[in-house]
Amino acid sequence: MSYLLKENYVRYECTCGSLRSIAELYFCRHCLEFRCGYCVCHEVDSHYCSNCMEHLPSAEARLKKNRCSTCFDCPNCFHPLSVRATMRSAEDGASKGTPAKRYFLSCFFCRWTTRDVNIPDQTVAAGSWPIKENPDAELLSSYLEYYKMTAMTERSQKEKKSFSSIRKGYNSLTDKYGLTAMIARKRAGLPSLPLAGKDLNQTTLPIIKPCTAVENIEPLPDSYYTEVPDLTKVTTLEQRHANPMLQPEYTNMLHPQHRHFYIKRSLRCRKCEHNVSKPEYNPGSIKFKIQHSAYYHMPEVRIMTYEPLICGKRSEIILKVTNPTQHLTSLQFNDLIDYIEGEKQKTIQQEQIDGKKETTHSGVAKLKHSIITNAKVELPSCSVILPPRDDAAEYDDSGDTHNFQDDPKIVVWRKGNKAAIKFAITPDKLLEQDEEIIFGFSLEYGYVNTMPTLEQRQPQRTEMQVNLYINPGKVSQGK
């Protein structure tokens, strides 16, 4: 499906107005509309490590700072590190002739090892590898505690009622203003938080030392101006940003970091709040519980061949259309439509009366794309019928059993649920050399909705329309 990912090949217009390939669109079977990445809500289902496939719930992954506790990334090339074993002489107290196993981390891609930065080998494979701590960890924790206390104070002020309200008991006040936490610290023998000031609710806040500017800065050594720098020993920006707490300057200061968790996400329609895509919870499974991608529910259009594109001259182009559904459908080709027209225009007018911004009936802001067609297209005058998808027909060379009365000037080839349709385009005369040709049309097809509702239990057939913008190639100046 690499051809589906090309940006300027065949693009479909989403309900919100953005242009996407068919591989980037979803179809909601409940509200019968197309959805792109901006029209769906992204929800996190589970966190998992791509190396050891350990999956955790969101709460536990948050406690581990979204990093795997057993896997490490190479600080040089960011590939997963593997545990390697080696035989070394025994330690003191054991017989000298008895070797012992020692383990270290190594990268199979760039050959970086923990021995390059003088990290000692471990006696067990799943040993506690030393991690270089942030020297400003205490300062950052004090900032975090300060902002937590500030957020709790602001929340308590919002929840505070007038003095005329019913007086509450002492227990509720202790929970509200943090007195319970203070008593718990005293019982545990911990020192109380230093008093940096009290707010209106008498809540203690930790001391935050303000940052001060330094006037005397140490000058750079003379080696920066006299010696030629060795770029192989200096870290890149990518390597420094991979560890923002330390940001090592030289390669001998690189330390392995715990591997980040990946996520499995589900996509939900913003209008009806039904899932359009939901994967399995197990990270090792590639199956989907719900997968309403657009190429499962709408015809797919591809370019088969076209004549040379010359300014002001008529050229023929053949498009292959595929029906992916299990129902017979009829295709009709019309001029480009505006989604704001028709029934949706009533919603726009009503929202303009109410003083709201211009939106579509799905509640998503209508995007005004700047694409302009520069070629005139001659559309087929008759409809084209495509049979349902049959996987067995792909390997049947005996011929199609369907007997469609097609116009040979329009349908030039047909097999199974596929048909090749001939179009004619005429590029504008004022186009420059090697300028991209873009033309578009509206594809109308019949869709059978098998999703039962309270009103209708039987499958209902609906006529759908979608705008297509096709870029076959560049124009050439001909005679």
For 79-126, the pLDDT digits (tens) are 999 999 888 765 554 555 567 888 999 999 999 999 988 888 888 887
Q: Which of 294, 288, 296 is nearest to 266 (CA)?
A: 288
Mean pLDDT is highest, among 10-14, 120-124, 221-225, 460-464, for: 10-14
Share of the chain above pLDDT 90, in %: 22
pLDDT value at 19 more than 70: yes
> Residues 410-429: what's their mean pLDDT?
90
**CA pair distance 308, 474, nearest whole angstrom:** 9
Longest dimension (CA), the chain: 94
> Residues 23-46: what's their mean pLDDT?
90
**CA pair distance 228, 226, nearest whole angstrom:** 7
Mean pLDDT is highest, among 142-156, 229-243, 346-360, 448-462, for: 229-243
Q: In terms of pLDDT, which residue wins out, 360 or 28?
A: 28
Task: Determine the pLDDT at residue 399.
Answer: 55
Task: Determine the pLDDT at residue 108.
Answer: 92
pLDDT value at 4 more than 50: no
CB 283 within 8 A of CB 292: no
Dihedral of CA atoms 159, 165, 167, 173 in degrees, nearest 10, equals 10
31, 39, 70, 177, 196 from 155: Cα distances, Å? 39, 33, 38, 10, 20
Task: Determine the pLDDT at residue 201.
Answer: 46
pLDDT value at 262 more than 70: yes
Rounded mean pLDDT of the chain? 79
Task: Determine the pLDDT at residue 321.
Answer: 93
Q: In terms of pLDDT, which residue wins out, 406 or 360?
A: 406
Instruction: Give the DSSP letter of residue 392.
Output: G
Task: Express each pLDDT in 381-417 by its tens digit.
Answer: 888 999 888 877 666 665 555 677 888 889 998 888 8
pLDDT value at 479 more than 60: no
pLDDT value at 324 more than 50: yes
- Has this prediction a pTM greater than 0.85? no
